[in-house]
Amino acid sequence: MTTVEAVAFDYGGVLTGQVRHSIAAWQEADGIEPESFSRTLKAWLSRDAEEGTPIHRLETGGLTVEEFDALLAAELRTVDGTTVDPVGVLARLFAGMRPDPAMFELAAELRGLGIRVALLSNSWGNTYPRERIDPLFDPVVISGEVGLRKPLAPIYLLTLERLGLPADRVLFIDDAEPNVLGARAVGMRALRHIDADTTRAALVDLIPGLSRRRPAPPRI
């Protein structure tokens, strides 16, 4: 089997807790009718949809966050029939999303073993903790900064170019199946992330020296 020389991580839902938990908390707090959000999300993420959907445009920098907020709010319904406030919709949607310490530790451990670690993320205007990301991940490829988006091939090819590695030596980790399939379509290895424990277990079989268990925190 070809050696894995680099691992590229998605951000939301991989290096953070599950995005659906943040979405559920936002829907509860703002009284959003869940079906109105899921219907809109399905339509705007559809692989059959044109690349000009609001999500596609947001991910590639063609829409500002404020413009997207207004478009999304117009599609949403509340349980009590009131109008959805468009100001800060995305900020409230992502407010409950937090970095997952176990996944950041895994990335750091891989780097300590000589494995390159990269970030490959579709941006929804959410703020990245660059003070944590930039020292650890190289390259950092964010869709809104490069004008490309997963699961289309060009953004994977750009990541491979910046890594300077052939596709079969790079493993991509994402929580969304279409993005996993997109990586495989260009020849990358790809793993669908469920949680930190199962991802670590899968990597142990590919990367010599990786601990099967998360290292214990140092005693203070």
Integer Cα distance of 79 and 160 in angstroms: 46
In a shared domain, residues 78 and 185:
no
Which of 93, 117, 140 represents a domain boundary (last residue)?
93
Confidence at residue 220, expressed as pLDDT on a 0 to 100 scale: 52
- Nearest-CA neighbor of 203 among 110, 114, 99, 136? 110
Q: What is the pLDDT of residues 77-125, one digit of tens each?
A: 999 998 999 999 999 999 999 999 999 999 999 999 999 999 999 999 8
Q: Are 142 and 123 found together in one domain?
A: yes
DSSP assignment string, 10-47: -STTTTBS-HHHHHHHHHHHHTB-HHHHHHHHHHHH-T
* Number of domains, the chain: 2
What is the pLDDT, as a whole number, of residue 127? 80
Q: Whole-prediction pTM value? A: 0.92
What residue numbers bound the domain in which 88 lies?
A: 19-93
Same domain, 78 and 121: no
